[in-house]
């Protein structure tokens, strides 16, 4: 309570008055947050204790300092703190990570909550974009930042198709596009390779390591060795656990080291394989970051009651 009062007084001293405490009621005024209102708590039932003062402070604190969506999701969701980066992942077969975005109810799912408060989301598997080439511009070039044709499509045509509210909720971020050693099954090293090269933009695709980290079958499914156990790994990863979907394969943003032609894609069977970025047509699941300023307005993350935001 002391810390909250301190923060209030420091930030809102001109408009903050902690006022009338009587035998019956506690009245708290905060002109900055409540220009024409007051919060009144009946203190009689508590035997005139100070518990309702705390309640008033809590309510005013949450109004003046509304909880960020990232904090709400971490508090309410069953996320796994990543051991390699400051991130929290939804893992397992079907976590409660559905979110409504662009007026698409439960049309998106949360990959991770970042420590800067941004939230990384991906379009639901059954609402993917039709299959496209990763790069139709250049034969033998898998450089996302050049840009690849899929990069251009997602950040122009697709971005422009979103409604105004959705656009305002997106934040441009640095995306990891570093090339991976194909047979490197050390996840920590793989993440470093991904992070060795960055591209800044609004919309892209998931990385291979993110797909591996959303699987809760650690040891068997968190390295590229998962291809040897793809059917088992498929059932423990929400990002690719719907064997009835029509996508078949979905592109990632990740490419192999020393290979200018290929790009990694997630297979319907749970594995991760290389395909020709120019010749192959694969499903596209737009991925983006929501601003740290958004707030959760409802929902519990289930498919029938997804998170809603403003």
Per-residue pLDDT of 203-262, as tens digits, reads: 999 999 999 999 999 989 999 888 988 889 999 999 986 644 556 899 999 999 999 999
Domain of 228, in residue numbers: 69-298
Structural domain ending residue among the three candidates 64, 80, 107: 64
Could you please report the per-residue DSSP string of 24-61?
A: SEEEEEETTT-TT--EEEE-TTTTT-SHHHHHHHHHHH
Same-domain status, 147 and 57: no
Q: Is 174 helix (H, G, I), strand (E, B) or coil?
A: strand
The maximal CA–CA distance of the chain, rounded, in angstroms, is: 80
* Residue 20 binned pLDDT confidence (cut-offs 50, 70, 90): very low
Neighbouring residues of 108: CB distance < 8 A, sequence distance ≥ 6:
98, 99, 100, 101, 102, 121, 122, 123, 124
Judgement on whether residues 223 and 238 belong to the same structural domain of the protein: yes
Q: What pLDDT shows up at residue 248?
A: 80
- Does residue 263 belong to any structural domain of this protein? yes
Domain shared by 32 and 157, yes or no: no
264: in domain: yes
13 pLDDT tier (thresholds 50, 70, 90): very low
Q: Write down the mean pLDDT value for the chain.
A: 84
* Number of Cβ within a 10 Å radius of residue 304: 9
DSSP conformational letter for 265: E
d(CA 38, CA 43): 15
| Average pLDDT of the residues in 8-15 | 46
**Mean pLDDT (whole number) for 261-290:** 95
Please indicate, yes or no, if residue 136 is contained in any of the structural domains: yes
Q: How far apart are CA 267 and CA 283, in angstroms?
A: 10
Do 44 and 172 fall into the same domain?
no
On whether residue 161 sits in a domain, the answer given is yes
Q: How far is CA 34 from the centre of its chain?
A: 32
Kindly state whether residues 59 and 76 are assigned to the same domain.
no
Is the previous residue joined to 42 through a cis bond, with omega within 30 degrees of 0?
A: no
Cβ-based neighbours of 145, under 8 Å, separated by 6 or more: 151, 177, 197, 199
d(CA 99, CA 135): 29
Grade residue 126 by pLDDT with cuts at 50, 70 and 90.
confident
Domain boundary among 45, 64, 83: 64
pLDDT for 242 = 60
Q: Is residue 309 part of a domain?
A: no
Give the pLDDT of residue 35.
45
CA distance 186 to 223: 7
Q: How many structural domains comprise the chain? A: 2
Residues 141 and 79 grouped into a single domain = yes
Question: Could you tell me if 48 and 122 lie in one domain?
Answer: no
Q: What is the pLDDT of residues 49-92, one digit of tens each?
A: 555 555 656 555 556 666 789 999 998 888 999 999 999 999 99
170 shares a domain with 273: yes
Residue 307 covered by a domain: no
105 & 234 share domain: yes
At residue 186, does pLDDT exceed 80?
yes
Mark whether 17 and 154 lie in a shared domain.
Answer: no
DSSP state of 162: S
How far apart are alpha carbons 200 and 197 in whole angstroms?
A: 10
In terms of domains, do 19 and 159 share one?
A: no
Q: pTM for this one?
A: 0.81
Residues 127 and 248 reside in one and the same domain: yes
pLDDT surpassing 50 at residue 286: yes
């Amino acid at each position: 309570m002391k810390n909250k009062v301190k923060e209030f007084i420091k930030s809102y001293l001109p408009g903050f008055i902690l006022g009338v405490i009587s035998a019956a009621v506690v009245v708290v005024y905060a002109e900055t947050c409540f220009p024409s209102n007051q919060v009144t708590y009946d203190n009689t039932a508590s035997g005139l204790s100070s518990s309702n003062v705390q309640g008033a402070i809590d309510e005013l604190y949450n109004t003046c300092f509304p909880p960020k969506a990232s904090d709400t999701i971490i508090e309410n969701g069953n996320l796994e703190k990543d051991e390699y980066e400051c991130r929290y992942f939804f893992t397992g077969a079907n976590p409660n990570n559905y979110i409504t975005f662009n007026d698409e109810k439960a049309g998106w799912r949360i990959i991770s909550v970042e420590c800067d408060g941004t939230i990384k989301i991906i379009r639901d598997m059954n609402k993917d974009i039709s299959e496209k080439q990763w790069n139709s511009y250049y034969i033998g070039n898998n450089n996302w930042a050049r840009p690849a044709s899929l990069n251009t499509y997602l950040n122009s045509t697709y971005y422009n198709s979103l409604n105004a509210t959705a656009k305002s909720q997106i934040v441009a971020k640095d995306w990891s596009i570093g090339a991976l050693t194909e047979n490197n099954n050390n996840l920590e090293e793989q993440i470093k390779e991904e992070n060795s090269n960055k591209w800044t933009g609004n919309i892209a695709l998931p990385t291979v390591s993110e797909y591996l980290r959303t699987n809760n079958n650690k040891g068997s499914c968190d390295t590229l060795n998962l291809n040897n156990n793809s059917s088992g790994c498929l059932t423990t990863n929400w990002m690719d656990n719907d064997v009835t979907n029509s996508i078949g394969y979905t592109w990632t943003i990740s490419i192999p080291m020393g290979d200018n032609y290929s790009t990694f894609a997630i297979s319907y069977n749970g594995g991760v394989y290389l395909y020709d970025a120019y010749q192959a047509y694969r499903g596209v699941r737009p991925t983006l970051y929501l601003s740290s300023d958004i707030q959760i307005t409802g929902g519990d993350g289930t498919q029938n009651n997804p998170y809603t935001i403003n």
